């Protein structure tokens, strides 16, 4: 049966747990010489520039024995007016799966509707589910647990924040989002996460605050992202003004637990949302987090394609 991974909601709690533990196994080198996806070809369409998503998937696909095919959106017939549906139907005849990194989430949903293989959301303006799985893996590596961990996300309520909210609801992480007024996460994401928690009758908190100092108080993990994402360049001056008090710096870090972990999904605009001192400091696990994109991507591919 066809399985897509468009948002965190496409995975069950047990599947997320499996992915985290399997990614840690793969990171350790176990099954290094096994190729569960041997003979498969997996395409990647990127409408947005990428470092970690592209390289982690391209390397991961190769290490699992499959053939990665990078498809520059400019070179495809999509760039000359071919419909998404026609492109998806044609590529279905060649490829087992497709990783797509694009702007509108509806583009990925439409592609998945007509593509017969697996579709994985490598990032859209609304969701970044692969990042969230790598993030939960990283927190679990350091804390040995997810349930009850206090995660403070400081910054823009963007696609990363949306997927972290969904992943937190699924894993029992208590998440607080601190953002300026008007930059909150997607309301539908928040409502669905709160409804999910309510139905499961589990004690998991999701808070939206506008005070970063309150948010990081006693936090186990502090997380941030850029203030100006791709496609928002025209708003850069306004955003930098609105977010100037939401920087992760040493003063803010002192308000959290002494052993709090600092995370950033990268790329970082050093001196804006995070200072050099914090980014390169003893609390930072940013580059372990980046490495884990590879191992979690491999676990995702293996789960969806090993049939």
List pLDDT tens digits, range 156-209. Answer: 999 999 999 999 999 999 999 999 999 999 999 999 999 999 988 778 999 999
293 is catalytic: yes
**131-289: same fold as 8-127+292-305?**
yes
265 is catalytic: yes
Give the pLDDT confidence score for residue 228 in this predicted structure: 87
Give the pLDDT confidence score for residue 10 in this predicted structure: 98
List pLDDT tens digits, range 213-227. Answer: 999 999 999 999 999
Q: Out of 225, 239, 264, 289, pick the active-site residue.
A: 225
Residues 35, 61 contacting (CB under 8 angstroms): no
Q: Which one, of 291, 229, 288, lies nearest residue 263 by Cα?
A: 288
How many angstroms separate the first and last alpha carbons of the chain?
A: 9
Q: Out of 127, 128, 239, 264, pick the active-site residue.
A: 128
* C-alpha span between 251 and 256 (Å, rounded): 10
131 is catalytic: yes
- Helical (H) or strand (E) element with 18: helix 13-28
pLDDT confidence band for 79 (50 / 70 / 90): low
What pTM does this model have?
A: 0.96
Average pLDDT over residues 89-94: 97
pLDDT confidence band for 74 (50 / 70 / 90): confident
128 is catalytic: yes
Give the pLDDT confidence score for residue 235 in this predicted structure: 82
CATH second-level architecture of 131-289? Answer: 3-Layer(aba) Sandwich (3.40)
Q: Is pLDDT above 90 for 152? A: yes
Q: Which CATH class is domain 8-127+292-305?
A: alpha beta
| In the chain, domain spans | 8-127+292-305, 131-289
195 is catalytic: no
Q: Which one, of 235, 230, 232, lies nearest residue 124 by Cα?
A: 230
Q: Out of 131, 179, 247, 289, pick the active-site residue.
A: 131
254 is catalytic: no
The side-by-side arrangement of strands in the sheet containing 118-123 is 67-72, 41-46, 97-101, 118-123
């Amino acid at each position: 049966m066809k399985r897509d991974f468009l948002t965190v909601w496409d995975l069950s709690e047990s599947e997320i747990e499996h992915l985290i533990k399997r990614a840690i196994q793969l990171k350790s080198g176990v099954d290094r010489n096994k190729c569960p996806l041997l003979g498969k070809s997996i395409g990647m369409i990127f409408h947005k520039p990428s470092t970690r998503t592209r390289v982690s998937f391209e390397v991961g696909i190769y290490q699992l024995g499959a053939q990665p095919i990078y498809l520059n959106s400019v070179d495809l017939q999509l760039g000359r007016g071919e419909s998404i549906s026609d492109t998806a139907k044609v590529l279905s005849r060649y490829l087992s799966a497709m990783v797509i990194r694009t702007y509108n989430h509806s583009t990925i949903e439409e592609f998945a509707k007509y593509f017969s293989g697996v579709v994985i959301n490598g990032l859209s303006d609304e969701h970044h589910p692969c990042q969230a799985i790598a993030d939960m893996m990283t927190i679990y590596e350091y804390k040995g647990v997810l349930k009850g961990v206090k995660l403070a996300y400081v910054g823009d309520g963007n696609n990363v924040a949306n997927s972290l909210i969904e992943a937190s609801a699924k894993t029992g992480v208590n998440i607080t989002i601190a953002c300026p007024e008007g930059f909150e996460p997607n309301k539908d994401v928040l409502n669905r996460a709160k409804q999910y928690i309510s139905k499961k009758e589990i004690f998991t908190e999701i808070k939206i605050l506008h005070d970063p100092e309150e948010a990081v108080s006693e936090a186990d993990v502090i997380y941030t992202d850029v203030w100006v994402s791709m496609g928002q360049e025209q708003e850069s001056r306004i955003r930098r003004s609105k977010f100037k008090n939401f920087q992760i710096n040493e003063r803010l870090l002192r308000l959290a637990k002494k052993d709090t972990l600092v995370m950033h999904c990268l790329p970082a605009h050093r001196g804006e949302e995070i200072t050099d001192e914090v980014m390169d400091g003893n609390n930072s696990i940013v580059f372990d987090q980046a490495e884990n994109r590879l191992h979690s991507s491999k676990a995702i591919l293996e789960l969806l394609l090993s049939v």
